[in-house]
C-alpha cells in the first residue's frame, strides 16, 4: 500500500517580477509544475500546466493577459507527454485536482476527459464570472471541457486515509487549495500559488496582486506552522528550489 509522488516541469512562464514579489522590477522566468500522486486507489494529477493550444495561438487563449506573460511549452513538456514516459495514459488518471483555475494550472485539464476534476466550490464559482473571464483572470478554454466536477468546501481527504489531503489556502484566488501528501519520509505540501517562492514564505514578501492579501498572509503563517512541524513545502514557481526537485522519478 505504498504511495508515490512525481514532479514535472510543464514549460515555463515569464512575467513581471512584481507579480511575484511586490516592489521588484524586471522580469522573471519560472517553471510551471505539475504532479502525479500514485495512490493504491487511484492516480491523481495536481495541476495540469499549460494549454497545448498556446503553441499555436497564445494570443487567443491568454486573452488580455497575453501582454503580461510569455509562455514556453516545448513539444515534450505537456503533462500527457510527461506521463507517457512513465507508461501512464490519460485514461489511467482518476482525479485531476486544480489548485486554482489560472491558465498555468488548469490548461491541460482537457487532456483528461475521463477524470473527475476536484476544485473548491468558491473557485469554480469565481471562474464562471463574466467580468473575470473578460479581463483574462479565468478562461473557459482551459477548464470548461465537460468533465465531472467535484466541488468541495474546505479540507478534503481524497481517499479517506489521510495520505492525500486538500487544504484550503485562500488568498491568491477566492478558492485556492494546496495538497498535502503523506510520503513514507514525511509530509510534503504542494503549495502552488499560495506561496510562489521560498522568499515569499521566509519574508512574507507578497506579490503585487492577490485576491485577498490578508487571507494570503494567514495562509503563509499556516504553511510556516506545517513547515515547523516537519512538512516539506514545495513552492509554486521557485526556479532555484525547482532545480532541487527530481523530475519524472519518485520523490523520496
Domain ranges of the chain: 4-239
Instruction: Yes or no: say if 18 and 27 are a contact pair by the CB < 8 Å rule.
Output: no
Distance CA 230, CA 12 (A): 29
- Dihedral pair phi/psi, residue 125, rounded to 5°: -65, -45
Instruction: Yes or no: say if 182 and 166 are a contact pair by the CB < 8 Å rule.
Output: no
Q: Point out the residues of the chain with pLDDT beneath 70.
A: none
What 3-state DSSP class applies to 43?
strand
Using a 10 angstrom Cβ sphere, with 0-12 exposed, 13-18 middle and 19 or more buried, the burial of residue 34 is: buried
Distance CA 60, CA 62 (A): 6
- Prediction pTM value: 0.97
What 3-state DSSP class applies to 219?
helix
Instruction: Look up cell 513539444; give the residue.
Output: 75
Q: Which helix (H) or strand (E) holds 213?
A: helix 213-228
Distance CA 134, CA 150 (A): 25
In this predicted structure, what is the pLDDT of residue 48? 98
Using a 10 angstrom Cβ sphere, with 0-12 exposed, 13-18 middle and 19 or more buried, the burial of residue 203 is: exposed
CA distances from 177 to 34, 61, 123, 216 (A): 14, 24, 9, 12
Distance CA 79, CA 99 (A): 16
In this predicted structure, what is the pLDDT of residue 131? 97
Nearest CA to 111 out of 81, 149, 155 is that of 81
Give the neighbor-by-neighbor strand order of the sheet with 232-235. Answer: 156-157, 164-168, 177-183, 186-192, 232-235
Q: Which helix (H) or strand (E) holds 235?
A: strand 232-235
In this predicted structure, what is the pLDDT of residue 177? 99
In this predicted structure, what is the pLDDT of residue 1? 76
Per CATH, the number for 4-239 is 3.60.15.10
In this predicted structure, what is the pLDDT of residue 117? 98
Amino acid at each position: 500500500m505504498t504511495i508515490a509522488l512525481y514532479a514535472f516541469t510543464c514549460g515555463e512562464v515569464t512575467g513581471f517580477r512584481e507579480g511575484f514579489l511586490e516592489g521588484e522590477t524586471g522580469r522573471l522566468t519560472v517553471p510551471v509544475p505539475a504532479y502525479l500522486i500514485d495512490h493504491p486507489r487511484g492516480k491523481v494529477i495536481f495541476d495540469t500546466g499549460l494549454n497545448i493550444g498556446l503553441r499555436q495561438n497564445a494570443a487567443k487563449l491568454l486573452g488580455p493577459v497575453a501582454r503580461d506573460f510569455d509562455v514556453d511549452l516545448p513539444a515534450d513538456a505537456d503533462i500527457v507527454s510527461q506521463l507517457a514516459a512513465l507508461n501512464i495514459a490519460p485514461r489511467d488518471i482518476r482525479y485531476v485536482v486544480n489548485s486554482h483555475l489560472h491558465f498555468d494550472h488548469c490548461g491541460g485539464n482537457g487532456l483528461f476527459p475521463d477524470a473527475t476534476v476536484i476544485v473548491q466550490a468558491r473557485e469554480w464559482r469565481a471562474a464562471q464570472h463574466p467580468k473575470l473571464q473578460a479581463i483574462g483572470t479565468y478562461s473557459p478554454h482551459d477548464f470548461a471541457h465537460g468533465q465531472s466536477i467535484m466541488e468541495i468546501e474546505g479540507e478534503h481527504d481524497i481517499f479517506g486515509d489521510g495520505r492525500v489531503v486538500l487544504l484550503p489556502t485562500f488568498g491568491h484566488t477566492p478558492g485556492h487549495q494546496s495538497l498535502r501528501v503523506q510520503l513514507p519520509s514525511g509530509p510534503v505540501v504542494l503549495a502552488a500559488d499560495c506561496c510562489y517562492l521560498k522568499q515569499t514564505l521566509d519574508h512574507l514578501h507578497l506579490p503585487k496582486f492577490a485576491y485577498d492579501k490578508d487571507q494570503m498572509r494567514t495562509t503563509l503563517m499556516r504553511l510556516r506552522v506545517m513547515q515547523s512541524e516537519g512538512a516539506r513545502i514545495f513552492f509554486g514557481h521557485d526556479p532555484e528550489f525547482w532545480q532541487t526537485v527530481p523530475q519524472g522519478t519518485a520523490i523520496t
